[in-house]
A = this chain, B = another copy of it.
Amino acid sequence: MSSIDVETLWLVGLAFPDGRCADLEIAGERIGRIGRAEPGAPCRDATGLLCMPSLIEGHVHLDKTFLGCSWQPHLEGGSVAERIRLEKVARARVDDPVVVRGARLAERAIAFGAGTMRSHADIDAEWGLANLEAEIALRERFADRLDIQIVAFPQSGILRSPGTDDLLEAALEAGADLVGGLDPAGIDEDPVQHLEIVFDVADTYGKGVDIHLHDAGALGCFELGLIAEMTRAIGLQGQVTVSHAYCLGQVDPATFGRTAEALAASGIAILTSAPSGAMPPVRALRQAGVTVFAGSDNIRDAWAPYGDGDILRRATLAAYQQGYRSDADMGYALDLITTESARALGLADYGVAPGRPADFVLVEAETVAEAVANPPARRVVFKHGRLVAGTL
């Protein structure tokens, strides 16, 4: 089956995360019934495949990846500022433009089962809006197979890269979906002023926020407090993400508790790429009412040489880092790239249920726990009712 050319098609013999076995009807772009296929209706055998909702890649950089380029040895930098500079050296060495490199990553993400992706685009005085424009072109090109949200990301800082504040506004006017930020203290050395610019722009353009925060320990938690305050001040609850927030894994329980409470009260989501060392404590955040979701972050780029765009394998890594072993915990790891991500990204109409968009991925696994513990190589991916990757 290389395409769906009938209005209605039953996939027969699927397993579902709740343990049910049933057939699923694709009715145009949507899911019809889930139950027993109508006798005589067009159908395909999908016995032994587990049906999971379309996966969500919560954090990538389509402009940064070197996927498909010749091997680029990592250039070691001693500080974040130095590594920002070295990234430009490394990117100048590859010939393929962002639209080519980013397209490779988008293709792989789709093949691995992603139906939605949030990507950051570097914005600064040197790049101008070039990376953003390339990502917007990718967003259009992949619109029928992958929904891409683009964050205008001030990778060189805002205050220390003059003109970036104006560029952020220009980026939103050009079509960015969210405004980003970066280490308000660690990079720009003025957390309040940095965040005021970010939230002013978000407020002016009615857009959400996704801030990279690597600042450590108490400093990072202080900044999370500021972000929570500013989010409430402009009524942006539910539309703000802080990416990484290693600090949440580095502080004493009292500071953690106070910070998690502020995040929950302001509806701020935390994105993690499952780093080694200081990963935010996922369970404790969830118990405090904070939405936590996962993303791949750097995929074979100037920041890190790892990764291939498989967001399911990133959920495996998140589960491993958090010491998850039970089926329930492995299920929660899947939530990090499905339901929790959908909430963080504001996706309406998400999930495998009658009437919802026919966006899902089929894998050879008995249970979600098995799929997360050992991501199966084969993926059969549907988006808008069409088979977009794999074969059935």
Contact = CB atoms under 8 A, between A and B. Distances in A.
A255 interface: no
B321 A374 contact: no
Kindly list the 3 A-B residue pairs having the minimum CB-CB distance in the complex, ordered from nearest: A305-B373, A74-B325, A276-B321
A35 B41 CA distance: 63
Contact of A373 (B306, B374, B377): B306
Nearest to A313: B313
Interface string A309-353: 000000010011111011100100000000000000000000000
Interface size class, chain A: 20 to 34
How many copies of this chain does the complex contain?
A: 2
Interface string A181-205: 0000000000000000000000000
A70 interface: yes
A379 to B, nearest CB: 14
B76 A325 contact: yes
The residue among A323, A327, A367, A373 with the most chain B CB atoms within 10 A of its own CB is A373
A40 interface: no
Contacts of A306: 316, 319-320, 373-374
Contacts of A325: 74, 76, 304-305
B304 A71 contact: no
Given A73-B326, A326-B73, A374-B300, A305 B369 contact: yes
Specify the main secondary structure of chain A where it touches its partner.
loop
A378 to B, nearest CB: 12
A217 interface: no
A50 to B, nearest CB: 11
A300 B320 CA distance: 13
A261 interface: no
A276 B320 contact: yes
A140 interface: no
Contacts of A390: none
A245 to B, nearest CB: 17
Contact of A327 (B74, B277, B323, B370): B74
Contact of A73 (B73, B304, B327, B374): B327
A28 interface: no
